[in-house]
């Protein structure tokens, strides 16, 4: 009996028992769709986090005070330690100290209320240097950033994020207008181009002022300490060299050993890893639960195949009497089971893809469906079908033709 004939027979058997076959497939279908969506959601979340961290800048190293290796350092100004100063930033900017560091921007920030024309808006006010724009990979939407001269002169000038500008001035271009920060009037010299959210919060909702002005007006108690120092390496290849140089320079100037370091130097990559590991754990957990539902679907296939063998015992006996070898019977039932698995897998894949298209707009989370996942889904379904079919098919193949014909 040819494979084509076997497929034909299996297809006939499935078609004849439409309702039951459909319900059997449903088990596989739901399992596959559930696995695809949970894994897709997890991957989507990881991608999102990774792309947000990418937006922080490129080839970035971040120095935060204290020796914790948590994400809090990135958020800036949260840590209570004040071991980083503007002097550290100046030292790292020195080409002879750290030749692989291209640009340095020290930042401090605090939540403060901004007032313009009787409109109030509380946002994060950041004090930094002109290199911030480059290091954080930002561009100007309108106006300009402050210069080194303006930094030195501690000018009361501010650059607003897109959201902040809109909250205070609406659709109007605020460049040249005045805004009051901590009772001191500032001139708005520019508005940053929008980038959206990152792990560090809404990057469009902030007000950037010269570090000197920040120390004088916004946060006089901070002195020369800074919340974080952003370092941009000269390139992708220079990243590890830049890391070493910055680490050594800081250890030397702080006079501490590696084990007792009072700062944390983290790379963008390590931040991505920390941030995605949480969502990965969740993905594995949810995917595991979904996989169990797939397993239950597989048991459903096995159950239905066993029922089918019992129910078709006369048919099996007849087929054997007419010349079907045990091997042919085995093949027929295995094919039937794997066909159920395959059909369930294909339908599950379609449902999963539909879910991946619809879900993001409902829950606001991206869902990633890769070609690998699609192929794997179908392959897994077929394997489940075959595995679930082995025992029932073996039973059918071993039936003695007379016992089978005799049964009523």
Task: Please report, as ranges, the residues that interact with other proteins according to CB under 8 A.
Answer: 1-2, 5, 9, 12, 16, 314-315, 318-328, 400-402, 405
Q: Which is nearer to other proteins, 177 or 315 (CB)?
A: 315
- Least distance (Å) from other proteins to the CB of residue 19? 14
- Least distance (Å) from other proteins to the CB of residue 394? 14
Alpha-carbon radius of gyration of the chain: 32
CB count within 10 Å of CB 308 equals: 25
Q: Which is nearer to other proteins, 16 or 80 (CB)?
A: 16
- Least distance (Å) from other proteins to the CB of residue 317? 8
Q: Which is nearer to other proteins, 265 or 324 (CB)?
A: 324
DSSP strand E in 17-92: where? Answer: 60-65
- Least distance (Å) from other proteins to the CB of residue 404? 10
**Opening angle at CA 87, ends 86 and 89, nearest 5:** 65
Instruction: Find, among 226, 191, 181, 237, the residue nearest to 90 by Cα.
Output: 226
Q: What are phi and psi of 108, to 5 degrees?
A: -135, 150
Q: Which is nearer to other proteins, 383 or 405 (CB)?
A: 405
Q: How far apart are CA 148 and CA 347, in angstroms?
A: 62
Q: What does the block give as tokens for 127?
A: 């004090």
Q: Which is nearer to other proteins, 319 or 395 (CB)?
A: 319
- Least distance (Å) from other proteins to the CB of residue 318? 5
Q: Which is nearer to other proteins, 1 or 282 (CB)?
A: 1
DSSP strand E in 161-281: where? Answer: 178-181, 184-192, 197-198, 201-202, 206-210, 228-233, 263-267
CB count within 10 Å of CB 64 equals: 28
- Least distance (Å) from other proteins to the CB of residue 408? 9
Q: Is 322 helix (H, G, I), strand (E, B) or coil?
A: coil
- Least distance (Å) from other proteins to the CB of residue 1? 6
- Contact between 373 and 36 under an 8 Å Cβ cutoff? The reply is yes
* Burial of residue 253 (number of CB atoms within 10 Å: 0-12, 13-18, 19+): middle
Q: Which is nearer to other proteins, 6 or 270 (CB)?
A: 6
């Amino acid at each position: 009996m040819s494979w084509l004939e076997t497929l034909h027979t299996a297809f006939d058997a499935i078609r004849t028992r439409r309702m039951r076959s459909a319900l059997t497939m449903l088990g596989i279908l739901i399992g596959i769709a559930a696995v695809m969506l949970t894994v897709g959601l997890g991957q989507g979340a990881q991608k999102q986090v990774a792309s947000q961290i990418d937006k922080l800048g490129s080839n970035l190293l971040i120095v935060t005070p204290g020796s914790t290796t948590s994400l809090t350092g990135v958020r800036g100004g949260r840590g209570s330690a004040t071991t980083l100063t503007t002097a550290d930033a100046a030292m790292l900017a020195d080409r002879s100290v750290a030749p692989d560091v291209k640009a340095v921007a020290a930042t401090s920030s605090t939540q403060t209320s901004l007032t313009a024309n009787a409109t109030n808006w509380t946002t994060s006010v950041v004090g930094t240097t002109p290199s911030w724009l480059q290091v954080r990979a930002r561009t100007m939407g309108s106006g300009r950033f402050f210069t080194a001269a303006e930094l030195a002169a501690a000018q009361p000038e501010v650059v607003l994020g897109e959201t902040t500008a809109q909250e205070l001035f609406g659709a109007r271009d605020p460049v040249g207008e005045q805004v009051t920060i901590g009772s001191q009037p500032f001139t708005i010299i520019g508005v940053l181009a929008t980038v959206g959210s990152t792990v560090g919060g809404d990057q469009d909702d902030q007000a950037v002022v010269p570090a000197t002005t920040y120390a004088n007006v916004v946060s006089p108690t901070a002195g020369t300490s800074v919340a974080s120092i952003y370092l941009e390496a000269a390139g992708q290849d220079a990243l590890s060299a830049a890391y070493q140089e910055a680490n050594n320079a800081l250890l030397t100037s702080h006079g501490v050993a590696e084990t007792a370091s009072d700062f944390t130097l983290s790379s963008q990559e390590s931040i991505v890893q920390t941030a995605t590991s949480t969502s990965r754990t969740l993905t594995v957990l949810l995917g595991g639960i979904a996989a169990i539902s797939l397993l239950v679907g597989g048991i459903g296939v096995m159950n239905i195949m066993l029922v089918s063998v019992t129910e078709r015992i006369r048919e099996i006996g007849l087929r054997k009497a007419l010349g079907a070898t045990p091997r042919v019977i085995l093949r027929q039932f295995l094919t039937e089971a794997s066909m159920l698995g395959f059909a369930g897998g294909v339908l599950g894949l379609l449902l999963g893809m539909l879910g991946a298209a619809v879900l993001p707009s409902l829950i606001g989370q991206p869902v990633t469906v890769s070609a690998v996942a699609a192929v794997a889904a179908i392959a897994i379904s077929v394997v489940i079908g075959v595995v679930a079919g082995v025992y029932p098919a073996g039973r059918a193949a071993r039936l003695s033709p007379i016992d089978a014909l005799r049964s009523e």
